[in-house]
Copies of this chain bind each other. A is one copy, B any other.
Amino acid sequence: MSSFLGSDAALATDLYELTMAAAYFDNDEKADASFELFVRRFPKNRSYLVAAGLEQAVEYLTNLHFSKEHVEFLRKHPSFKNVSKSFFEYLLDLKFTGDVWAMPEGTVFFINEPIIRVTAPIVQAQIVETYLLSVMNFETLIATKAARVVQSAKGRGIVEFGSRRAHGPEAGLLASRASYIGGCIGTSNTLAGYLFGIPTYGTMAHSFIMSYDSEEDAFKRFCKVFPNNPSFLIDTYDTVQGAKKAVSMNVAPSLVRLDSGDRYELSVKVRKILDDAGFKNTRVFVSGDLNEYIIQDLMSRDAPIDTFGVGTELATSRDDPALSGIYKLVSLERNGKTIYRVKTSTDKRTIPGVKQIYRTYSESGEIQEDLLALQDEESPPNAERLMTQVFNHGSRISEPVEISRIQERGRRQVASLPLKYKALEGSEESPVRLSPKLQKLANSLWASHGEVD
């Protein structure tokens, strides 16, 4: 599959990535650089994250290419006036030739833990920053939000519904993918079904009901085309009346959907109407401005709801719509020597060096500790290595993973979280510890303001 934004993906980068690339190139900078992408702060009320977006990052790196028109655009850009001709020739031939290590999608992770590392000639490693951040920040944000919503529903299904309020058509599609990784049972986005094999759901909107002279007439016409267990939207005019009409159709509806009003009260009334009519298997599907807090409340009151449709709040992670993932230089290989790097700006200190994460579990299978260590340190006993290699010298060496297997990994990972991290209000605690060697290295670089190698 090609990258999003198709053949224009390479130019979907901040201009400064390209001015820096030119500066490196024209300074004849040959270093290989290692950049790690990690999250600096949790979004509101979160104390774990679910990694997602790697497959889109991989597709982008695989297809990375500047067209003649792109290069011509840059050549004429006033910022590039003094840049050498060789740089533009280099860009035309550019392919990604680096190594990549990453966490598998669906992995639960915490602050300061890298989810992807790129080691490549510094020009390449720099140019890919913006695109990698945008896909991995967004999909991780939404997979995490979905995991919270799914948790709140205690086993009832969640269908992702948010394309119309997502940040453009591509965001809707990626939100569907990430929501499925986070545990949703499916999506309303048809393209997500077509491209990713995610189950797609949908029946009718209010406009269908409104296009006929009565609700009964609309229901009847829908039954004609969808005769096997049709679904009915029952709140266009009056939910209780709508439910009564739905049970009078001489067919067992598979579900009825309500999208407005007091969801608790109405679900109770509608359930009773269905039961009294003998439709015990008809599911009550509820939608309309739902989120994990509202669903938790409905579940705590035993609302007779079988499935939830969650749109805007999920596809935009509305309560905190941005993940502060950053992509930072951690080391350079220059003239055969490893040089560690940190940033020491106020509140923005980074941890140096190419890292591995060693995760250990308790006997009951709960996450006990994540040891953040330099990659060449010895593994603690029985630890799982979270970072695995994805690219070797520009060639992908990992197979794409089926979306259902990614979802299954996500489910198991969230299940292995100690309860405190799963509370909707989050936790102050963190299972991440720096290895003594890494801590010592970081301390010494922070003390020297990062400028000594």
Contacts of A208 in B (CB 8 A): 20, 23-24, 126
Number of interface residues, chain A, beta carbon within 8 A? 120
Q: Kindly state whether residue A348 has any CB partner on chain B within 8 Å.
A: yes
Q: Kindly state whether residue A188 has any CB partner on chain B within 8 Å.
A: yes
Q: Kindly state whether residue A204 has any CB partner on chain B within 8 Å.
A: yes
Q: A14-B202, A19-B203, A194-B8 are in contact. Are A79 and B226 (CB under 8 A)?
A: yes
A153 to chain B, nearest CB (A): 21
Contacts of A170 in B (CB 8 A): 4-5, 168-171
Chain A residues near B (Cβ < 8 Å): 4-6, 8-9, 11-20, 22-24, 26-27, 29, 31, 33, 35, 69-70, 73-74, 77, 79, 81-83, 122, 126, 129-131, 133-135, 137-139, 161, 163-175, 188-191, 193-195, 200-208, 210-211, 213-215, 221-222, 224-228, 235-239, 259-261, 312, 316-318, 321-325, 327-329, 332, 341-348, 449-453
Q: A5-B191, A26-B225, A33-B211 are in contact. Are A236 and B163 (CB under 8 A)?
A: no
A232 to chain B, nearest CB (A): 12
User: Are A4 and B169 within 8 A (Cβ)?
Assistant: yes
Contact pick for A343, options B188, B206, B323, B329, CB 8 Å: B206
* CB-CB nearest 10 A-B residue pairs: A15-B202, A16-B202, A170-B170, A321-B321, A167-B167, A133-B164, A167-B171, A260-B345, A207-B329, A14-B188
Q: A23-B222, A27-B225, A134-B168 are in contact. Are A237 and B345 (CB under 8 A)?
A: yes
Using CB atoms, name the residue of chain B closest to A221: B27
Contact pick for A228, options B14, B69, B77, B82, CB 8 Å: B82
Contacts of A135 in B (CB 8 A): 168-169
User: Are A224 and B27 within 8 A (Cβ)?
Assistant: yes
User: Are A167 and B163 within 8 A (Cβ)?
Assistant: no
A68 to chain B, nearest CB (A): 12
Contacts of A321 in B (CB 8 A): 167, 316-318, 321
Give Cα A313–Cα B20 distance, bound, in whole angstroms: 25
Given contacts A12-B173, A15-B193, 4 further A-B contacts (CB under 8 A): A14-B190, A79-B226, A134-B166, A135-B169
User: Are B163 and A138 within 8 A (Cβ)?
Assistant: no
